Structure 1
Amino acid sequence: MDVEERAEGTVTSGEREQLESFLHDQRVEIINLLDGLDDEQARRRLVPSATTLLGLVKHASFVERVWFDVAFAGRARADLGIPDAAEDSFVLTQDDTVASVRALYRRAWDSALEIAAGHDLDSVALHNRRSPVSLRWIYLHLVRELARHAGHGDILREQLLAAEDAGGG
């Protein structure tokens, strides 16, 4: 499953396929947060924190990289160009656009798929602060985290689109 569509037909499949389907669906929810938005809309702050729609997707890229490229593949955060602190992964630069952050997330997602394919659910990641953790645990953790952030994003989108409808824009 590497297309940006929701997974179907996994109700009676095996554990790994079900976990990967649930994770896939949350990845789709995350990347779709930016659908139809321009750069200004995606960057707009609607809450007191620095959380924006663009920042949420950028953070999701960080999360994918931390759990797969760092935890499983043992790559250094600096080599990946990701911050040490999770809160810094929401910070946007001038170069961050809807297109660039979508591409960033797709690269992180694709890398995660490639790395996970080489491991079974009981394989353990040894290169993170919670080590050792199994691929199964990482899948469940990511479903939880991405679903939470997708929910935040849904609310931000609703606020953004309602404000624009009310303002005629």
Structure 2
Amino acid sequence: MNEKEILHRYLRLRRTELLAKLDGLDEYNVRRPLTPTGTNLLGLIKHVASVEIGYFGEVFGRPHGQPLPWLENDAEPDADLWVTPDETRDQIVALHRTAAALSDATIDALPLDAEGAVPWWPAERRRVTLQQILVHMCVETAQHLGHADILRELIDGTAGKGPGDPNLTPRTAEDWAAHRARIEAAARAASPVSRPASPQ
């Protein structure tokens, strides 16, 4: 595999893993905010799809024709990070797949040193290459996949890629509870100030 193929493979894998975080969840759980800033699963997918369309479309002069009203100048702040009641899960998943197809076409068509311009970046660093944007989107997608990992674990306890994930130590629920308790005890022992009990 050459460098472009390696980067493209990583991007495809992270996209697939991000979308899989919705599997088996109802409408409420894919949409509900689980952090003080409102982070939610379907909103993460909407955001990543939207920015991917911009980076591999507009940046390289390849019109995408996708209406993205949540990114317009008159949209409310962070409208790309949550899903309204009249936006369906199917629409957001379709947007994610469309973004992937449009991006893949750009990646396939251009060499790594192809130049583009990111109009929403400061002028001094606006000029970019396809290689830079590929790395940027691998990092962006992986960052939001990490957010989604934590959200999914908070929703139903599913961690990583699910049962059998080689990156997770195999433990029973009881073993995980004991492991967490050891970490909590270590944190309390290291702290000179008494801390309130954390939620279970």
Q: Say whether the fold is shared (TM-score over 0.5).
A: yes
Gaps of 5+ in 2: 158-200
* Structure 1 segment 1-169 matched on structure 2, within 5 A: 13-73=1-61, 75=63, 80-84=68-72, 87-130=78-121, 131-162=126-157
Q: Taking structure 2 as the reference length, what is the TM-score of the superposition?
A: 0.68
- Looking at structure 1, the residues matched to 70 and 116 of structure 2 have their Cα atoms a distance apart, in angstroms, of 19
Indicate the RMSD between aligned Cα atoms, in angstroms. 2.3
* Residue 154 to residue 18, structure 1, CA distance change in 2 (3 Å): same
Larger radius of gyration: 2
Opposite residue 17 of structure 2, the aligned amino acid is E
CA–CA distance in structure 2, aligned partners of residues 93 and 135 of structure 1? 33
Higher relative contact order (CA 8 A, sep 6+): 1
What amino acid sits opposite 1:102 in the alignment? V
- Asked if structure 2 preserves the Cα contact closer than 8 Å seen for 1:124 and 1:132, the reply is yes
Q: Provide the C-alpha distance between the structure 2 equivalents of 1:76 and 1:127, rounded to a whole number of angstroms.
A: 15
- SS at the partner of 1:125? strand
AA in 2 matched with 1:18 = I
Give the secondary-structure state (helix, strand or coil) at the position aligned to 1:71.
Answer: helix
Q: Structure 1 pair 98/22, CA: closer, same or farther in 2 (3 Å)?
A: same
Matched-pair identity in %: 33
Code of the residue aligned with 1:141 in structure 2: it is: H
| Alignment partners' CA distance in 1, 2:45 and 2:147 | 11
Letter in 2 for 1:146: T
Sort the Cα spacing of 1:141 and 1:119 in 2 relative to 1 into closer, same or farther, 3 A: same
Describe the superposition over 1:84-122 as per-residue Cα deviations: whole angstroms up to 9, x where unpaired.
Answer: 478331132222232221111001111111122221000
Q: Deviations over 1:54-76 (max 9, x none)?
A: 10000011111110121113549
- Alpha-carbon distance, 1:137 to partner: 0.4
Once residues 67 and 146 of structure 2 are traced to their aligned partners in structure 1, the CA distance between those partners, rounded to angstroms, is 31
The Cα of 1:37 is off from its aligned counterpart by 1.4
TM-score with structure 1 setting the length: 0.80
